[in-house]
Amino acid sequence: MIVASESAVRQYPELRLTRRSARPEGTVVTVRGVEIGGPGIVIMAGPCAVESEPQLLATARAVKASGAHILRGGAFKPRTSPYSFQGLKEEGLRLLAQARADTGLPVVTEVLDARHLELVATYADILQVGSRNMQNFMLLQEVGRSRVPVLLKRGMSATLEEYLNAAEYVMSNGNPNVILCERGIRTFEPSMENTLDLNAVPMLQRLSHLPVIVDPSHGTGHAWMVPRLACAAVAAGADGVMVEVHVDPANALSDGQHALTPDEFAAMARQIAAVGQAIGRHMVWSALAGGSAAEVAR
């Protein structure tokens, strides 16, 4: 068996703040009591886009009941076509705050442009910087100054060095609370939206102390693949997953093709807990009867 020596992994000395040796014990980002990067596996779930009050509330309640820890939902959507649904914008943010009040779940939502930062930060518990903005250096600097935790998605063509440099932009502007998210990269393979790069999980964790989560929804583009890749991500050591869930995927205004139904999500959450148990990580079920947090599969 060939065992790679430490020196076989390239080091990036210019990554002053993000490199593993800057905080060997690892970073835990805590959001309203939810720890990302700690021993527990964290599940972020919700629709691609906030579409309406009934859609968001039904989805939020369902994912909470099945074990999700954080609610996701886009209010400002980066769409390939200018004619596609662009999100409900401020109304979407208001609905996210309403869903948070209803379920107690913290909210992650995308900030598409530095001009919206103040507004989005008023509502968001975590600011998402999307794949397309990973090298929008002005936006990275602004979210760095905001101090709200940041979920930084990997650019679809970014190397890990470029990716960690993007995180370095946020951290060097004063914000230490960065969560990395592998969401698939562009390859020569056309049968899936992207190719989920699970290699990136252990390598990012070796190179950096930041928490790493995985988005198998955009990483595959197919709902039927999502539970398997979510389990694979946890097996690869990810600190959590972010998945898209919709109460009616066939009529979703964006990304219905890879949205799980609430029932599919519930089944996946149980599988994730079992995989976690197999590798010695636990899952905190935040939504058991009575609302008290309980740890299972320790």
230 near Mn ion, rule: CB under 5 A: no
Binding site for ligand PEP (CB under 6 A): 48, 74, 78, 110, 130-132, 153, 183, 218
C-beta closer to ligand PEP: residue 26 or 78: 78
Residue 183 interface partner, choices ligand PEP, Mn ion, none, CB cut-off 5-8 Å depending on type:
ligand PEP
Distance of CA 285 to the CA centre of its chain: 18
Annotate 179-225 with DSSP letters as a single string: EEEE--B--S-TTSSSB--TTHHHHHHHHB-S-EEE-HHHHHS-GGG
C-beta closer to Mn ion: residue 160 or 242: 242
Point out which span in 26-34, 41-49, 114-122, 222-230 binds Mn ion (CB under 5 A). Answer: 41-49
Amino acid at 291: G
Closest CB 113 distance from ligand PEP, rounded Å: 14
Closest CA to 44 of 291, 193, 265, 253: 265
- Crossing angle for the helix pair 226-235 and 262-278, nearest 10 degrees? 20
Q: Which residues pair with 245 in a beta bridge?
A: 260
Query: Quick one: which of 255, 265, 272, 283 contacts Mn ion (CB under 5 A)?
Result: 255
Q: Say if residue 96 is exposed, middle or buried (CB neighbours under 10 Å; 0-12, 13-18, 19+).
A: buried
Closest CB 48 distance from Mn ion, rounded Å: 3
C-beta closer to Mn ion: residue 108 or 164: 108
Point out which span in 42-50, 57-65, 196-204, 276-284 binds Mn ion (CB under 5 A). Answer: 42-50
Residue 78 interface partner, choices Mn ion, ligand PEP, none, CB cut-off 5-8 Å depending on type:
ligand PEP
Total binding residues toward Mn ion, as defined by CB under 5 A: 2
95 near Mn ion, rule: CB under 5 A: no
Closest CA to 13 of 5, 4, 21: 21
Q: Say if residue 174 is exposed, middle or buried (CB neighbours under 10 Å; 0-12, 13-18, 19+).
A: exposed
C-beta closer to ligand PEP: residue 153 or 209: 153
Residue 153 interface partner, choices ligand PEP, Mn ion, none, CB cut-off 5-8 Å depending on type:
ligand PEP
Closest CB 217 distance from Mn ion, rounded Å: 6
Residue 125 interface partner, choices Mn ion, ligand PEP, none, CB cut-off 5-8 Å depending on type:
none
Amino acid at 236: A
48 near Mn ion, rule: CB under 5 A: yes
Point out which span in 44-52, 62-70, 98-106, 198-206 binds Mn ion (CB under 5 A). Answer: 44-52
Helical spans, DSSP H, in the chain: 53-65, 90-103, 117-123, 137-146, 160-172, 200-207, 216-220, 226-235, 262-278
Binding site for Mn ion (CB under 5 A): 48, 255
